[in-house]
Structure 1
Amino acid sequence: MSVHDDLTSVQRTLDELLRSVGRLEQQLGGGLEMRRVRADADHLRESVALLREVSEGPATAKRPALVTISDAPYDISLWTDTDDEGLGARDRHAP
């Protein structure tokens, strides 16, 4: 099965779930529990829509641009007059 077929199957099942939730809501009323079930079903619908959007995107995933890191040594002045991270300032002592 392709991703498209799987998403279509999930969407059909979710549509049936939403219809069933609607029928239950009519029979049981809109109490707290029913509102939670309705909210969960709505979140599922939104999540499936997001999955569908992602799956219909470009066939190849975009790779982040590579960053070249120079082999030249760093400027030593970058490391002077700074606190050692996690150790505090040089002239102070731990409590």
Structure 2
Amino acid sequence: MNVSNCVDGVERRGNVYYLRWRVPAEFRAVETRAEINQSLKTRDLEEARALVLVKKKALRKVWRVSPAAGRARALCRSLRSCGGVA
């Protein structure tokens, strides 16, 4: 995968944008994954950028509150189902 395609956590694969974000060092103790990769289910760059901000903020909030990585994964699933509105 070409990392140069990824700017501000937004990566384009084909016609769809993805969240691609390395887990910050401060949260590696509570998140088992080194990197978050998730489809944003949009072809619009501006919408993708907005969704990335929402998802990053939500993940940071969960990681700060809960030491359980499972809760962060549950949040990721819920963000997928609601289109990024937490």
Instruction: Quickly name the TM-score band, shorter chain normalised.
Output: 0.3 to 0.5
User: Is the radius of gyration larger for structure 1 or structure 2?
Assistant: 1
- The answer to which structure, 1 or 2, has the higher relative contact order (CA under 8 A, 6+ apart) is 1
Between structures 1 and 2, the one with greater helix share? 1
Where is the strand percentage greater, Structure 1 or Structure 2?
A: 2
When the two structures are superposed, what TM-score results if normalisation uses the length of structure 2? 0.33
